[in-house]
Structure 1
Amino acid sequence: MTTTPLNAPPTGVPLHPGSATVEFRSLRRAFGTTTALDGLDLTVHPGELLALLGPSGCGKTTALRILAGFETHDSGEVLVDGEDVTKTPAHKRDAGMVFQSYSLFPHLTAADNVAFGLKMRGSSKSDRRKRAMELLELVGLPQRAEHFPHQMSGGQQQRIALARALALQPRVLLLDEPLSALDAKVRLNLREEIRRLQQDLGITTLFVTHDQEEALSMADRVAVLRAGRLEQCATPSELYARPTTAFVAEFVGTMSRIPAYRSGDGVEVLGRRHAVDGVVPADGELDVLVRPENVGLTAAADGGAVVVGASFLGAVTRLTVRLLDGTEVKVDLATEAAALLPVGGNAHLILPDRPVLVDRRVKSGQ
C-alpha cells in the first residue's frame, strides 16, 4: 500500500510556537542497585535533531522520560530554555512524545486521535477538526481521517501518532524508538520523511534509538551513551571518522582489532610505526582499531595473511582476512578489486599512514 509522503507545513496557522534549548545537567537516576543515569551532561540546541544512541540499559529512554515528566530524577537538573522543569507536570512541559507502540486510542478515528490533546485543553470542535486535518495533511494521511487504527498499517499508525504529538504545538518533540516495530522498507521511508518534516518545522527533537544506521542518517548530532554516561556527542561524520573512545568506535560502524606494540609515543602495527590518535593506555597490551574501508589489501604470496571469507555488498565486497596470529580483519574493497583476491589466497594487509586509535587488547573469549 502506498502512502502520500509527509508534506511541507501548510501555510496559515503555525505548527509550533518555536524551538527550545534542552539541557541535562549532572542528571542522575537509579532504580534500586541499577544506575540508569550517572551524571549526564548534555545540551540540545534549538531546532536540531539529536539522537540518543546506545545499547539496551544505557539510560537513553530514562533521559527521554525524565524530560517528558514521566520519570523523576534523583539529582541534577533538566532545563528547557533555561527553566528548570523538575516540578512541572508532564502535561505542562510543552513536549510532544511518540512511543514505540504508537499508543493510539483504538476506539477513536485518526482525526479524533490527533485532536485528543486539543479536546483535553478545551478547544472547540471546529478548531479541533481544522487542526487535525492540517496535521493529517502534513503527514500525508488526510484520506485516513475517519479510519480507526486497526484499519491502518503500522507505518500509517505511526504517522498518526506523530501528528498527535505535534497537535499541541510543542517546543520539543520526543521520539522513543518510534520505528523499531516497523518492517525494514517502511522504516527506511518513514525515517527519511520524519527527518524532512523535522527540518521543515525546525522543532527541537530528541530521538532515542539503538539502531546506529537510524541515528547516523537522521540526526544533526548523535550522543552515544554507555552505562548512564555520555561517551561522545558529535555530528554523524565526526562520530564515525573520529571516535574518541574504543566503545564509540566499535558501537558505531564496523571495527577490527589488530595487535600493536608500544613504540615511543606511538605504536607499531603490521611492521610499521604509527602515531596515535588520542592517548595510549598506560599499561597492558594494545590493539589498534581500524574501519574496513581504511585497510589496504594486495595479493602477495608471502604477505602474512589469508583471505578466509567474502561478502558481496554490491559495489563493495567485504573480505575477511586472517593474520598469522589468528586475528581476523574486515576489509572493504571495490568489488572488481576484491575479485583479484579469492578466498584462500595469500595477501598483504596495509594500514594508511595516519594516526590510529588504540585500546587495551581484548583477550580471546572476552
Structure 2
Amino acid sequence: MTSKVEFRDLRRIFGKTVALDGLDLTIEPGEFVALLGPSGCGKTTALRCVAGFERPDSGAVLVDGKDITDVPANKRDAGMVFQSYSLFPNLNARDNVAFGLRVRRVPVAVRRAKADELLELVGLPTHADRFPHQLSGGQQQRVALARALALEPRVLLLDEPLSALDAKVRVALREEIRRLQLDLGITTIFVTHDQEEALSIADRVAVLRDGRLEQVGAPAEVYDRPATPFVAEFVGTMNHLVGQASPEGTVTVLGHTLPIDGPSPDSPEVDVLIRPEAVQVTPAEDGEAEVLVASFRGSSVRLRLALAGGEVLADVPGHEAVRLAAGTRVTVRLVERPVLVAPRTVTVPAPVTEPADAV
C-alpha cells in the first residue's frame, strides 16, 4: 500500500532560526521525491515532521488525507533510514532487520523468514549472520534499509543515507534504492544536499531555501528551467555574464542576443545565467578567448576560458580534449535558448570548477 503525503503551511522555529517557513508540498502515492537544498534549508526538519520526531509550530502533515501532526512517532506507518547506519552492534544482520518485528511480537519463524527475504532483496543473502563490524559501510546501509522495509511502511523516509559512503559505493547504492522503490511502489522522501543524487533518482525534486520551497518539478525541468536565480545557481553550475537587457524581452551577452526566460528586469544591465554546456567553442588562432584550464571528466571536458570581460566555463565532449588544451585560442558561441537573468551584482565572482585532472 502506498500513500499520499502532504505538507500544509508547515512552520518550525528553533530559537531565532526559522527552519520551515510555510512549506506546502504534496507527494503522490508511489512517488519518489527528493528534498534538495543547502545545509540549514529545512529539508531534514520536514522529514522529521513526517516521521514524528519533530512537531511543527503550525501547519499540518497529512498522510492519505489524515492529519498525523499529533500522532506519536511509533504510531506512524513510516520507515526511516538515517545518515548514520544506527545498527545494533550486538545483533547480526538478520536480527537487526527483524528488530521491529520482534518489538511487535511477530513469531520467531515468521520474522526470521521476513528478514532473510529482505536481505535477499537488498543483495545480502549470504550476510545474515554477520555483525555490523563485519560489514562495509555500504552493506550496513543496505541492512538499515532492509530494517526500515521490514514493517512494510506506507512511507519510506531517507535522511541523507549515502553521505557517509565513498563515491563509487554511493552511486551503486542510490541506484539500488531507486530499483527497490520502483519494485515496491513505496512513497519515498529522500533528503540530500547532493544535486547529482537528487537529479539522478527522483521523480520530482523539491528545492528548499531558508525553509521555503523555491521550486518543485521533474529533474529535467528543475535543471533546464530553474524558476529562480537561487535554483539556477544551486542545481548545476552557472556562468554569471554581464548583459544588456531590452524592454522587448531579450538580452545581449557576448555579442549574442537571446530571449529572457521570464519578465524583463527593471535595470538594463543584468547578470545572465548560462550553463557551461550552452557555451560552444571552436579552436581558432584569432579567437576572442583563451583556454586557461581543461579539466577532463571522462565523457566531457570542462574548459575555463579567459575573455575580455572575465572568465567563462564551457563543457565540451571528451574527445575534444586533445585540441582544446590550455593555451588554445577559441571562438565562443552561445546556444540560442531562453536564459535566466538576475539583478546585476556589484562584484560577480569568477566561476569555480570542481577538482579534476587537467589535460
TM-score, length of structure 2 as denominator length: 0.93
1:343 aligns with 2:326: yes
> Using the alignment, how far apart are the partners of 1:40 and 1:249 within structure 2?
20
Question: Quick one: which amino acid aligns to residue 234 of structure 2?
Answer: F
Q: 2:58 aligns with which of 60, 75, 78?
A: 75
Question: Quick one: which amino acid aligns to residue 277 of structure 1?
Answer: D
1:29 aligns with 2:25: no
Preserved contact between residue 284 and residue 361 of structure 1 (Cα < 8 Å) = no
2:38 match: secondary structure? coil
Give the Å deviation of 1:363: 3.3
My pick for the range that moved more, 29-38 or 346-355, is: 346-355
> Using the alignment, how far apart are the partners of 2:311 and 2:219 within structure 1?
27
Preserved contact between residue 263 and residue 273 of structure 1 (Cα < 8 Å) = no
Give the Å deviation of 1:365: 6.7
> Using the alignment, how far apart are the partners of 1:297 and 1:98 within structure 2?
45
The match for 1:275 is 259
1:185 aligns with 2:163: no
1:151 aligns with 2:111: no
The match for 1:140 is 123
Give the Å deviation of 1:248: 1.0
1:262 aligns with 2:245: yes
The match for 2:98 is 115
The match for 1:91 is 74
4+ long deviations beyond 6 Å: none
Q: 2:48 aligns with which of 54, 65, 75?
A: 65
> Using the alignment, how far apart are the partners of 2:296 and 2:114 within structure 1?
49
Q: 2:233 aligns with which of 234, 250, 253?
A: 250
Preserved contact between residue 296 and residue 321 of structure 2 (Cα < 8 Å) = no
Give the Å deviation of 1:300: 4.2
> Using the alignment, how far apart are the partners of 2:37 and 2:229 within structure 1?
14
The match for 2:357 is none
1:215 aligns with 2:164: no
> Using the alignment, how far apart are the partners of 1:263 and 1:357 within structure 2?
14
Preserved contact between residue 280 and residue 359 of structure 1 (Cα < 8 Å) = no
Question: Quick one: which amino acid aligns to residue 127 of structure 2?
Answer: R
Relative contact order higher in (CA < 8 Å, ≥ 6 apart): 1
TM-score, length of structure 1 as denominator length: 0.91
1:46 aligns with 2:45: no
> Using the alignment, how far apart are the partners of 1:344 and 1:308 within structure 2?
6
> Using the alignment, how far apart are the partners of 2:304 and 2:20 within structure 1?
38
1:142 match: secondary structure? coil
* Alpha-carbon distance change, 256 to 116 in structure 1, aligned in 2, over 3 angstroms: same
Question: Quick one: which amino acid aligns to residue 261 of structure 2?
Answer: D
Structure 2 unmatched ranges of 5 or more: 350-359
Question: Quick one: which amino acid aligns to residue 167 of structure 1?
Answer: A
> Using the alignment, how far apart are the partners of 2:268 and 2:19 within structure 1?
30
Give the Å deviation of 1:114: 1.0
The match for 1:170 is 153
1:247 match: secondary structure? helix
* Alpha-carbon distance change, 299 to 164 in structure 1, aligned in 2, over 3 angstroms: same
Q: Deviations over 1:53-94 (max 9, x none)?
A: 111000000000010000010111100000000111101110
Q: Deviations over 1:68-123 (max 9, x none)?
A: 00001011110000000011110111000000111111111211111111111121
My pick for the range that moved more, 127-136 or 97-106, is: 127-136
Query: C-alpha root-mean-square deviation of aligned residues, in Å?
Result: 1.6
Q: 1:314 aligns with which of 289, 293, 298?
A: 298
1:206 match: secondary structure? strand
Give the Å deviation of 1:23: 0.4
Identical columns (%): 64
Give the 5 Å matches for 1:297-308. Answer: 297-308=281-292
Question: Quick one: which amino acid aligns to residue 273 of structure 1?
Answer: T
Preserved contact between residue 284 and residue 360 of structure 1 (Cα < 8 Å) = no
Preserved contact between residue 245 and residue 267 of structure 2 (Cα < 8 Å) = no
1:150 match: secondary structure? helix
